[in-house]
Structures are given as C-alpha cells and as structure tokens.
Structure 1
Amino acid sequence: MKKSPWLLGLLTLGALTLALGACAPVPQTSTEGGFPLRPALDGERRTLQLPDFGRVVYYADPRGQGRPLVLTHSVNAAASAYEVRPLWNVYAGTRPVYALEWPGFGSSGRPDVRYTPALMAQALSALVEQLNTPVDVVALSLGSEFAARVALEDPRVRSLSLISPSGFGSPRGASQQAGQQDSETLYRRLRNVGDVLYGALRTRPSLQYFLSRSFRGPVPGDVVDYAADTSRQPGAKYAPLAFISGGLFHPDAYEALYRPLNTPALVLYDQDAFVSFDRLPLFAQKANATVQRIAGTDGLPHFEKLADVKAALDAFWLKIP
C-alpha cells in the first residue's frame, strides 16, 4: 500500500519534533458557546447529529442570492474550515454559503470511533439534506473523494469544484480488498503509538513544515496558529490516525468516484506535494468536466491566488443552469 505522505514526512521529522517536546501536555482551549474551539469562520456555527457518531458542525451565512455554496476542507493532522476561509470571505454575503467540518475535525465531534469514507460522505449528505435544495460544492484535496461519493447519489449536488483533489494519481496496483486490509493493519499499529505519533504531528515545527508543502510562498501565521489550536482539542488524534493509515482514501478513486460522475465538475490544480494528477488528462476528456491550472501554486491556491481561483469558479458556475 502506498504510504501517506504525512506519515513519510513524519518519519523524517520525528527526532526533531519529539526532541522539542511533542508529547508534553498541551493546555486545552476554553469552551465558548458549547464549542471547545474558537470559530474558524465569521458565520453561525450550526450542528447536525449523525447516528452512531454525534455532532457535526457547519458554518452558515444564508445572506445573498442564488444557489447555496457548500465548502469542505481537506483532511490532514490539523484540518478545519479555516482552510476555506479565503473562499468563505469572498462569497459570504453575495450568495448563501455553508462550510462543513468533517467528522473528527474542527468543531465537529471527535469521538473514538472508526473514521471511514462512508462516515465523511454521510456528514456531507446530511448537510445537503438539511439545505434540501440544489447546491454547488467546493472540496479540497481528500475531501474531493467524499464529495464525489455524495454527488454520485444525490442530484441536489448541482456541481462539484475540486481544488487539488486526491484520487487522480496512478492506481495503487492492489485490489480494493487488499488495500483495505493493509490500512486496517496499519491503523491497528498506529493506535498503539497514537499519543506519541500525534504528539509529533501537532508540534508547531511539524505543522509549519507540512503546511509549507501546500504554499508556494510563506505560510501565513494565522493558518499555523489555527492548525495548532485545532490539533490540541480533545480527541484530535482519532481521525488523523485513520487518515495516516490510508483508510480514508479509496484505492482507485478515479475509476470508482470520478470517472462515473455525471455532475458538472471543475478541477483546479497546479502542483501538490501530497497527491499527483496522472489521470487528470483522462478526466478532462469528459463532456461535463473542466480542468484548469492555477499556475504558481501548490495545494491551497485560493490562499495565494484567490482572484484566479474565484474567476475560474465564477466562469464554471455561469455555465450551469
């Protein structure tokens, strides 16, 4: 099984981060309004309840006109809706905007349960059901796979915009069943060292390093600050362990999730240290697909070239009735 770049990078940083006190106790953020984490966005925090999981949080700003926009962040050791903050800020007030925080991340619940692609897709499906109207979805990185799962089943997802999505690389070369077994084995092993492993991931040097792989220029200090805050919440390790094990990735997302899509889809990309785009040219041949390079960017182009990303999104949405 292809190992997560987060895990490979962690191995190179392990000695440094542990030497800097990765496992030292970290004070928890005080609770305000029932949430243990300061808001990621300037919007109302609302909740959904998922069976056998609990609270899933989304941000809401229902002002504006037109089809609602749903934003979803990526998945990593310190993910949250802060990753979509530039998009939120540019669209809030002009059209209804909602931002989902995946189970196990941000202000959503972080119980000790098995985190799976099905659980993540269930959260987005619940939000689409709650809105109960056609929506445009923008997803980042691995969140693109979860969004595609929902779009395959729910016609209310009117369009998909995927920013630096995972799942377009070469297939892993193993069966889906074998890939799942490998992920389960690695997950069980990671559980035994979860505190040490996640302690190393959440140090500021480690967060700075991994975030630097998604920025062409300097990493904004506020992005690192929020990553540090969200990674220090109770239960923060559980979903990232599933991510690092590979259990949140589909073994062949292109064939299973992207190629069958009938939903109009836009892919924005350039370079990404964590994913590849080997099969993106195949996807570009689909009649309902648009592929656009945002040159000079890495995994989070909307932070460094927001105007270019917004122009591409707006032009794409104009073609959708």
Structure 2
Amino acid sequence: MPLVSGQAIETVAIGQHHARGSLANPVAGTRTDITSVVGRFAVYADGTAPADGDTTPLLLIHSINAAGSAYEVKPLYDYYAQSRPVYAIDLPGFGQSDRDDREYTARMMTDAVHAAVEQIRRLHGEQPIDALALSLGSEFLARAATETPQAFRSLGFISPTGFEGRARDARTPGTRGRSWIIDVLRVKLWDRGFFKMLTARPVIRKFLEKAWGSKDIDEPMVDYDYATTHQPGARHAPYYFVAGFMFSTDILHIYEQLRLPVWMAHGVRGDFIDYRHKSRVAGRSNWTIVRFDTGAFPHFEALEQVVSSYNQFLAKVPPSDFGKPTIAQSA
C-alpha cells in the first residue's frame, strides 16, 4: 500500500451501496462504494476491451465546484467505455459519496485518488493506469502521481488549475485555506440560505455559461447539477473549496516534478482561460499541450477533437513493463 503523509491508504469496505434520495448515478455502468481513510466514496466502472484493444484502465476525475460530480466527465466515460475499461470517481463530498460535515482538503482529495487507483489496479493485476482529470481535479491527480508514479502509465489534464494568477510555487506543501471564511459561511443565520442561493437554477446556468464562454451549454448538466446540490450535506465540501482548502500553494512545483507522459488541454473562451504559468512546463519532452476553440469543458463541445488528440498522445506513450518477465524469471 502506498504511504501518503505517513498514512497507509487502506480500502476497508467495498461494494455496499448507499442510497442518496432520488439522485441518479451520474454515469452508467457498475457503481462500487469504497470506504477508505477518506470515508466512503463512489467509483463507477464500465467498458470492455476487445482482444486486440487497450486493456489499460482509464480513470476520470471531475472538477471541484458547488456542483462537482462524475457527470462532468460523462462524454469521455461513455466514449472510452466502448473500447477499454473506464472508471470515474465521485470525490468525497460530491455526487453519491458521503457528504459529512468535516474538513475537505487537497490532501483528502489526493488520498481519494490514491484509494481509487489502488482498487482499480488490484482489479487489473496491478498494472499502471492512465488517468485524466478536469480543472482542480488535475492538482489532486498530479500530486498523487508524484507520490506513486509507478501506479500510472500517463496523465491527462483538461483545463487544469494551478497555471493561473499569482504563481503557486511554495517549496513546501500547503493550501490557501482560510478558516475564518469557513466560520463566516457557517453562521447559522445564512449557512443554508447562502448555498441555496448559490445553487439556484439561474445561478448554475450562469456559472456554466461562464465556463463555456457561451449560452450553448449542456442542458442535462444543469439538471444534474441542480439535483446533486440539493442533497443533504451538499454544502460542506463546496464551502471548503470556497475557503481555499483545496488549492495547493506548491502546485507549480508538483507539475514540474512530473516525469510521466502528460497531455494537457484547455479552451480559449469563457472565464477560465488564464494559463500564464504554463511556460513552466511547456516545451518539456514529457508534456503535450493542446488548445481547442472551446470553453473549459472541451469534451462536451468538441468530443471528437478531444479524443482524437488524446488518442494520438496515448499512441506515443511508451508501453509499461507490466506483464514482462524480469531477468530472474527469464533465466
């Protein structure tokens, strides 16, 4: 088991489903509930590989916002389920995962990625996997990959955070978390009312229009975002997001430490187009950076272009040593 921050990531219960009102699963396939050091979270699985196809599992990780869930990676999940084993996660505090009143941090989300990857690899003979994350989920994936690089064959980031604004290049791990913001958000006078206002349909729609840079958004996402944000405990994790506890202060150094093949994609429209610090990794032999004439969800707007680019990248990824005999075995 990988050691993370002095703690072993240990899966202690698998397979028991927990109902969450009338909320539908965000993607198709089989849902497994994993209980680990980060609590209970949901992982979805689908897809089979043809005999001559790619048997490497692909893990998809959603972004963080008031309405985050595996629905945000649904087009990629559905596409790759046709040709390979594919998995998607509801990070702690979101979707079908537990939404307890507790601290939600970048460390917790990274540990959830570790636990999901460990379980997927256990099911597939411990082979390295491909993993692709959206927005802030990219930071958790990148950190997980620096901590257990042997668990991954390649990494993909769509609209990754960490390249915008003031450089987050501290030399030691930390977050931008501010406890006083949590205290203010939790004042009983407006605690629930503020989140209810934040997740009203018109507000959700406005956020997605800003992310798309267009009014031509994915309408089913509006519906699912509204449903998932109106579940018990839905406000807890987003409040820690707003308070900065999921934004790592050292993320640029984490990105620079990556030695695995990395595919990074981003759009050019909307409110999330600041990648001023991508020069820190652009030009490195293991980084492939592409742009699409879209907003922050290019896989919803231009799926064929996105998967074509990603597939070309994967075709150039060196095969892992998984399954090859060692020198001792060959002797």
Give, in whole Å, the separation in 1 of the partners of 2:170 and 2:76.
37
Change (3 A) 1:181 1:244: closer
Q: Deviations over 1:10-67 (max 9, x none)?
A: xxxxxxxxxxxxxxxxxxxxxx97343201111111111022x421001001522421
Aligned to 1:169: 164
Question: Which of 41, 46, 58 is matched with 1:69 structurally?
Answer: 58
Give, in whole Å, the separation in 2 of the partners of 1:175 and 1:109.
31
Q: SS state of the match for residue 60, structure 2?
A: strand
Contact kept, 8 Å, 1:160 with 1:265, in 2: the verdict is yes
Q: Indicate whether 1:109 and 2:95 are aligned.
A: no
Contact kept, 8 Å, 1:169 with 1:277, in 2: the verdict is yes
Give, in whole Å, the separation in 2 of the partners of 1:264 and 1:181.
28
Aligned to 2:264: 267
Displacement, 1:196? 2.1
For structure 2, the 5+ residue unaligned runs are: 1-16, 122-126, 320-331
Contact kept, 8 Å, 1:166 with 1:275, in 2: the verdict is no
Instruction: State the AA in 2 paired with 1:159.
Output: S
For structure 1, the 5+ residue unaligned runs are: 1-31
Give, in whole Å, the separation in 1 of the partners of 2:180 and 2:297.
31
1:158-307 equivalence runs, <5 A: 158-171=153-166, 180=175, 183-192=178-187, 193-217=190-214, 218-255=216-253, 257-271=254-268, 272-274=270-272, 276-294=274-292, 296-307=293-304
Q: CA RMSD in A?
A: 2.1
Q: Deviations over 1:131-156 (max 9, x none)?
A: 22211111000000000011001121
Give, in whole Å, the separation in 2 of the partners of 1:243 and 1:286.
31
Give, in whole Å, the separation in 2 of the partners of 1:281 and 1:42.
38
Give, in whole Å, the separation in 1 of the partners of 2:316 and 2:92.
32
Q: Deviations over 1:271-294 (max 9, x none)?
A: 351462011122112221110111
Give, in whole Å, the separation in 1 of the partners of 2:184 and 2:167.
21
Aligned length: 287
Range 302-311 or range 196-205, more displaced? 196-205
Give, in whole Å, the separation in 1 of the partners of 2:168 and 2:113.
29
Give, in whole Å, the separation in 1 of the partners of 2:175 and 2:30.
37
Displacement, 1:176? 8.3
Displacement, 1:227? 0.3
Give, in whole Å, the separation in 2 of the partners of 1:145 and 1:258.
8
Instruction: State the AA in 1 paired with 2:40.
Output: R
Question: 4+ residue stretches of structure 1 with deviation over 6 A?
Answer: 173-177
Aligned to 2:30: 44
Instruction: State the AA in 1 paired with 2:157.
Output: L
Give, in whole Å, the separation in 2 of the partners of 1:103 and 1:275.
27
Contact kept, 8 Å, 1:136 with 1:159, in 2: the verdict is yes
Aligned to 2:305: 308
Give, in whole Å, the separation in 1 of the partners of 2:68 and 2:289.
25
Greater helix content: 1
Change (3 A) 1:160 1:82: same
The one of the two structures with greater contact order (alpha-carbon pairs below 8 A, sep at least 6) is: 1
Q: Deviations over 1:233-262 (max 9, x none)?
A: 11000000011111110124112x101111
Displacement, 1:184? 2.0
Q: Indicate whether 1:134 and 2:100 are aligned.
A: no
Displacement, 1:188? 2.1
Range 65-74 or range 272-281, more displaced? 272-281
TM-score (norm. length: structure 2)? 0.82
